[in-house]
Structures are given as C-alpha cells and as structure tokens.
A and B are shown apart, each in its own frame.
Chain A
Amino acid sequence: MDNVALRVSSVTKSYGKRTVLDSLDLTVHKGSFVTLLGSSGSGKSTLFRCITGLDSIDSGRIIAFGGSKSVHELTSTQLCQLRRDIGFVFQQFNLIKRFTAYENVLGACLASTPFWRVAFRNFNKDDRRLALECLDRVEMLSFANTPVLKLSGGQQQRIAVARVLAQKPKLIIADEPVSSLDPLTAASVLKTLKTAARDSNVAVLCSLHQVELAIDVADHIIGIKGGRVQLDLANDPEDHAMGNKITSLYERVIGESAV
C-alpha cells in the first residue's frame, strides 16, 4: 500500500443514461509511468476529471497518496491541498498566450505564494529560480522571456511540462498531451515528460491514442473501452519483443488498429 500514488476502485460515473466509467479499477505506483490507451469517448478524460475533483462520481473510491478519504469526499480546502500534489498536462497546453514562458511556469507557484505577493507580482527568489530550472529541464531556458504565442505547439507543450514540474507534484496526469503535435515532436515531448518525471521520482498517468508511443515510454499500459479496463500489462520500453506482443494484443482487445 505504501508505494501506491493513486488507487481507483470500482468507480462508476454516468451522464444521464450513458455510463462513462463502469466499475473501473486502476492503480498507479509511485515513480511509475502508466499510460492509458483508448479511443475517443472511452472515458479517459472523464476519469481524469473525477480524479482531480472537477467531476463527482456515482460510486467507488479514488484514493490519492494513501489518504483516508476518497477525492469526492474532500472539502474544498482539502481538494485545493490535494490538487497541489497533482500536476495536470492538457492536450491544448492551456498556457496564457500573452504571457512569457517564464510567467506561465511561475503560475504553478500561485498556491504556495501569499496573496499580497501575487497582488504585486513579487514572487520570492526560490520560486523564480525554480521556474527557470524547470524551463532548463525541458530545454526551453533560452525561451524564458518569449511570449508563448510566438512558440510552436511542441515548444508550448514543453512549457506546460515545465509548469507542471514547478508545481513539485507527486503525480502528473497528462490528458492526451501529444495528440495535437506531429509524430516526431510528439515522441520527443513525451520523452521529455518521461525523463523529467523519472528524475524527480514522480508518478505519471498519461492518456494516449497511439500504442507505439505508449510502448516507448510506459512501465505499465492500461487499455480501456466502454469505461472498463480491458487490458492491464507491464511494459519494458527496452524490450521490443514485448512491445510487439502488446501491440497485437491491444489491436485485438481494444479493436482500434494502430496508425
């Protein structure tokens, strides 16, 4: 139990008559990289919204970092506290376009900064150094003072990864982080996320469309369809034979051919 970052147990969630998550179970161990595979509408984003408390659940439990309460039972103060430990990477990056890369990364320090400092935009030196270090870790330090809208999609997602690192989370959730990028950029951004997470021993739960990308980075691959886990496999990015086996299994079970 000690090395579990996130445990989702028999979670069910419906919107009206449509069941999106159907008694779903899932475990993310500390420091591991878990990818969630499935086509659009398979319930991946809904699961993430439930884990971060943006949506409620109908039944089941979501326990983060060995806490005693499920996410949906937390008070709003406790939820804010929990969110500090969970970093989120979005498909559409969700950066403030007018701001520079550095200002965007600094946004991760809002929760721990007193309001008067935020009001005067006067962040303490440790936070400012941390923001620049995080930009360095995603190889974007030279763009620190560049407005985000001048950067390419891949560069923007690197900034978003830097922002999530500056939050010093225990778990990073990435919702289709590379699906709006071209294949080469996608692989390289995903590698950056993987390396950064491993270096700071952060667990990652990352949803992807393509099984090939998952095989390259994941320690664990979970395939979902119709709101249920259909596939739950350990993976070794170095082992190509294992990769091929997972690909064919994935195509058979989830029924979506790899591109």
Chain B
Amino acid sequence: MVPNPIIETTLRENDASGVRTRIRYCLVALALSVLVAIAWSFCKIDFNKLAVGTPILFSFVYQMFPPDLSDLSKVVKGAGETLAMATIGTIFATLLAFPLALLAARNTTPGLGVYRIARTILNISRSTETLVFALVFVAAVGFGPFAGVLAITFHMIGAIGKVFAETIETVDEGPLEALALTGAGKLKIIRYGLIPDVMPGLIAGALYMWEFSVRTSTVLGIVGAGGIGQILKDTVDLLNFNKMITVLAVILLMVAVIDFISDKLRHMILEPTDGSIKEPQFIQV
C-alpha cells in the first residue's frame, strides 16, 4: 500500500503535540507540589502529637457511656429552639433574597449598575460566616435565639440569593421573548411568565438552604446565640461526656430527619408532570 502523506504528517504532528502536553502536565504537577509543601509547613503537621492524643480520644469515647439521659427534655427543647431559629432565619432570608435575586440575575436586572450592587451585597453576605454574624449580633442584641435568627438571616440572604439568581438565569428565554413580542412590558412578563416557571426551582433551593441552616445553627449556641449549641458547650466545658453523647445524638437525629424531609419535599416539587425523570434505581442483579 502506498503511504498517504497526509496521514504520515498528521501522525508526526500528533506525536509532537503529545510530547508538549506531557511536559505541560509535569510543570503543572511540579507547581502544585510546591504549593502543597508550603501549605504543609504552615499547618505545623505533627503526627507524634496525634499518636499521643489518640488514647485520650478513646478515653473520651469510653467515658461517654452510659449516656446521661437525665436532662433529655432540656436537650430536646434546645434542639427545638435550634430548628425554630433555622426555620425563621431561612424564611426571613428567603423573603429578602427574592427581590435581590431579581436584581442580581442577568435576564431580569434593570441595569448593569443595579446588577453589580445586588451581586456585591449577595457576595458580602454569603462570604461572611454565620458564626461571625452571630458574634456581631450577640454583641448588638444580647444572648439568645434572636441573635441566632439574625445571624442565619444575614448569611442566608447571600446564599439563597445566589441560588435564586442562578435559577432565574437558567430559565428558557424563548417563551419570554414570545411574550415580549406581544408588546407586554418587562414587569408583566416577569410576573406572568418567569416567576411561575422558576418557582419550583426556587422552593427547592430554599429547602436545600434550610437544611444548611439547621446544620449551621447547631453550633451558634457556642457563641451564645441560642439553641442546642449552648448545651453542647456546657458539657464540653464541664467535661461531662455522658451528657455530651446525648446532645450529639439528638443533633445527629435532628439533622438526619430534616435532611430526609427536605429531600422528599424537593423531589415532590421538582417531579416533572410527565414523569419523564425517574428516581435513581439500584441495579438489580
């Protein structure tokens, strides 16, 4: 067979570019290794300390049993307070995030300036940890669950607003253009065509964020912002491990139940009406 010159040239070019790609990978790997080494030195990694500490850790676990259930009603009440804080905080945040999200979504914002301002507000809120907000609000409004509610609200405005804005931006533009071509104004189109269309996505996003809030708010009590975290902190301070295991178990149970409920609700809401998307099935062998 006569060799095809185009095939030969292409093969040679592929070989050359293959070598270039490998060299590039090596350089990237080298750079990453240097960065990891620097980070390692910052972290003061000392496995000796871990070896010494491990028996102590086991003794903590040993001391946790039997669990102390004497104050169970107080612990459950704390969990209830945490759940209430997370729920009210998420509701407040959702109500405030919705208008902000409309301003921070590219397809609904009235202008570039407004878009940038709204995005900045969302970013500041989202990148400030709930615990940091909690410290500030405990100082401002005093100890208790109200500070916790405010902390969750202020962090979640950003988190929920970003999820909402992204949901709004993924909406199918075609039908909205069709409505615009009937001569309808932007506000009417947003109200009639866009909001009902994205609503299931928004509700699912808010529920997901509610799960997050419940998890986050279990530790807010440590800085005095109410809920079960306060009880947890007391048990740690007093080295009362029998009680600590009770508190941890209640937290775990609450978070698991809330995750389960939220997951079920989200599936119900997002289930398409034609049933085209099915639940993932385990492979039957």
Contact = CB atoms under 8 A, between A and B. Distances in A.
Interface of A: 52, 54, 80-84, 86-88, 90, 92, 94-99, 107-108, 110-111, 113, 115, 118-119, 121, 147, 149-150, 160, 163, 167
B188 A84 contact: no
A115 B181 contact: no
A149 B272 contact: yes
Contact of B196 (A87, A99, A110): A99
Interface string B51-79: 00000000000000000000000000000
A69 B265 CA distance: 55
Contacts of A163: 178
B174 A92 contact: yes
B175 A121 contact: no
Contacts of B189: 110
Interface of B: 172, 174-175, 177-185, 187-189, 191-193, 196-197, 200, 272-274
Which of B179, B183, B196 has the most chain A CB within a 10 Å cutoff? B183
8 contacts: A52-B181, A54-B181, A82-B183, A83-B181, A95-B175, A96-B197, A98-B200, A107-B193
Contacts of A90: 174, 178
A88 B174 contact: no
Contacts of B172: 96-97
B273 A147 contact: yes
B182 A94 contact: no
The 8 A-B residue pairs whose C-beta atoms are closest, nearest first, are: A110-B184, A84-B183, A83-B183, A94-B174, A94-B178, A111-B183, A111-B184, A80-B183
B188 A110 contact: yes
A172 B146 CA distance: 59
B188 A113 contact: yes
Contacts of B274: 147, 149-150
Nearest to A89: B178
Given A84-B183, A86-B181, A96 B188 contact: no
B147 to A, nearest CB: 36
A160 B177 CA distance: 13
A42 B263 CA distance: 51
Given A52-B181, A80-B183, A167-B182, A98 B192 contact: no
Which of B172, B192, B272 has the most chain A CB within a 10 Å cutoff? B192
A141 B272 CA distance: 23
Contacts of B191: 115, 118-119
B156 to A, nearest CB: 26
A179 to B, nearest CB: 15
B190 to A, nearest CB: 10
B175 A94 contact: yes
